[in-house]
Amino acid sequence: MALYKPVVVQTCPRLGERITQDTVYWEGYKAPIQIKEFGAVNKIDFSPVPPRNYAVTASSRIHIYGRYSHEPIKTFSRFKDAAYCGTYRDDGNLLVAGSDEGIIRLFDISGKAPLRQFDGHTKPVHVAGFLSDKYRIFSGGDDYSSKLWDIPSGTEIVSYREHTDYVRCGCASKVNADVFVTGSYDHTVKLFDARTKSSIITIEHGQPVESVLLFPSGGLLVSAGGRYVKVWDVLKGGQLLVSLKNHHKTVTCLCLNSSGQRLLSGSLDRHVKIYSTTSYKVVHSFSYAAPILSLALSPEDETIVVGMTNGVLNIKHRKPEEGKEKSQKKRQPAYRTYMRGKTYMPKQEDFSVSKPVRRALRKYDKLLKSFDSSKALDAVLEPSIRLHTPEVTVAVMQELHRRGTLRSALAGRDEKQINLLLTFVARRVIEPRFTSILVTVADIITDIYQPVLGQSAIVDRQFLRLQEAIGKEIDYQGELLEVLGMMDTLFASFAEKKVTSLEETGSNSPTEIIETDE
């Protein structure tokens, strides 16, 4: 008796994800560590100096985390209400933060009590940061004002009231110690110079501005609001360079990597997009479990920290390269150990004993082996096979058709089974790899169950769906044939014909036609 041959399932090659240098680089992080904060994380800021601690502002506290610590190494909790925008100074010694009380507090990293308190805003202060000279602080609040403060004296230097809505974001220039930027819910971004009494550039973003970012060179400004991330040329008076719309919900935060060649944006759609700053195309993306409010990247790109609306802090550390080197240096068995005896050729006087290879058959193969066609078809119509590997279902149908038992396998089914078959056929018949066999299956089903049409509303509805799917596919094929005919006409018109007549040749030879395609 001949051995049973399992059903051959024809598979189509799948296009894999394109692996780029960015994919390798940004996938080189370990599994994330998650820390639960007391409230939504509205700001994350890394210290500019080693050991690269980072400040996390959430609820009424600012927690300082170490590079690899899972618990805060220091906490600033001198806030009566919510704290905002905890930001380091360039030397890493001071930290400034706004609050719901309208007070700006300045902390020494080595202490606990505030060094200075700046009173002047009448409503919550969501923006606070240092100018690059390290001796002045800028701020912006819900009272529509932007202010500049002197740290040694603790006094207000200048106040700007040009925005007409809440000021919710800002940043300072690293090139010019007098320049800072604020973004507001009035859809504008304003560039201020401390030496003047009014803004020097006003940019219309078009949406409430949630985040602004200046490139290290000071020549480019990035604004985020609504679903848009826009890049502006400051040196050309705020000219729009590019508008990006890659998020599905509001973009809430921006940051640059250490080299300035990649721009990161976080959004309420739970994604972080990474753009190339040369082409401004998305080169990679991360997905998170909750809407994102804040984002920060360590100066060496070794750690990426994301704060979410549910109070969870997500931390990813880059995999150390030393570990890879150690794993490569680990001694492995020699290649000849595995290949021992593989190349031995039996001699003429040797007696070879072949060990039969026993192959485990799948459920549908066992049923086909026992000639139980109906149950074999039922086995491949189970959801785990029908939905995820439809090629297996079609292969079994093709095998039944080859054996001539497809009609008997499809016959004698109840309303639920007919509904299942018609649903599968209507969904997959338009796929070119399945069309040939599924058209045959549809013909057989129609022939068998045509007498019962009108007796079940469910079956009638599935027949109508099948008819609609085939009708749409026929229309598409007709349109494609029309397009193909138009393309042939265009290609034919491009061909240049050169005709050499009898008069031109001056001989009695037949006319010669030379066709050349340019």
Tokens at 399, concatenated = 């095998």
- State the pLDDT at residue 379: 93
- State the pLDDT at residue 499: 44
Which residue type does 359 have?
R
- Residue 401 is given by DSSP the state H
- State the pLDDT at residue 198: 93
- State the pLDDT at residue 515: 42
- State the pLDDT at residue 108: 94
CB atoms inside a 10 Å sphere around CB 457: 9
Tokens at 439, concatenated = 């058209």
Tell me how far apart the alpha carbons of residues 188 and 167 are, in angstroms, rounded to a whole number.
10
Q: Which of 338, 313, 384, 405 is nearest to 55 (CA)?
A: 313
Q: At what angle do helices 415-428 and 390-403 cross, to 10 degrees?
A: 110
- State the pLDDT at residue 503: 44
Question: The tokens 């039969």 sit on which residue?
Answer: 356
Q: Which of 131, 137, 134 is nearest to 105 (CA)?
A: 137
Which residue type does 484 have?
L
- State the pLDDT at residue 511: 42
pLDDT in single tens digits along all 518 residues of the chain: 467 888 888 877 665 557 788 988 999 999 999 999 989 999 999 999 988 999 999 999 999 999 888 899 999 988 999 999 999 999 999 999 999 999 999 999 999 889 999 999 999 999 999 999 999 999 999 999 999 999 999 999 999 999 999 999 999 999 999 999 999 999 999 999 999 999 999 999 999 999 999 999 999 999 999 999 999 999 999 999 999 999 999 999 999 999 999 999 999 999 999 999 999 999 999 999 999 999 999 988 999 999 999 999 999 999 886 544 454 556 667 766 767 777 777 787 887 777 776 778 889 999 999 999 999 999 999 999 988 899 999 999 999 999 999 999 999 899 899 999 999 999 999 888 898 999 999 999 999 988 888 888 888 998 999 999 889 889 988 999 999 999 988 888 877 554 444 444 444 444 444 443 44
- State the pLDDT at residue 351: 79
Tell me how far apart the alpha carbons of residues 29 and 18 are, in angstroms, rounded to a whole number.
19
* CB contact at 8 A, 138 and 170: yes
Phi, psi (5° rounding) for residue 410? Answer: -85, -20
Q: Cβ contacts of residue 420 below 8 Å, gap of 6+?
A: 381, 386
- Per this entry, what is the length of the chain? 518
* CB contact at 8 A, 276 and 265: no
Tokens at 366, concatenated = 């066992």
Tokens at 386, concatenated = 């029908």
Tokens at 359, concatenated = 């192959």
Query: What is the DSSP code string of 135-149?
Result: SEEEEEETTS-EEEE
Q: pLDDT digits over 407-461, tens only?
A: 999 998 998 999 999 999 999 998 888 989 999 999 999 999 888 888 888 889 9
CB neighbour burial string for 63-83, b if at least 16 within 10 angstroms, e if fewer: bbbebeeeebebebebbeebb
- State the pLDDT at residue 513: 40
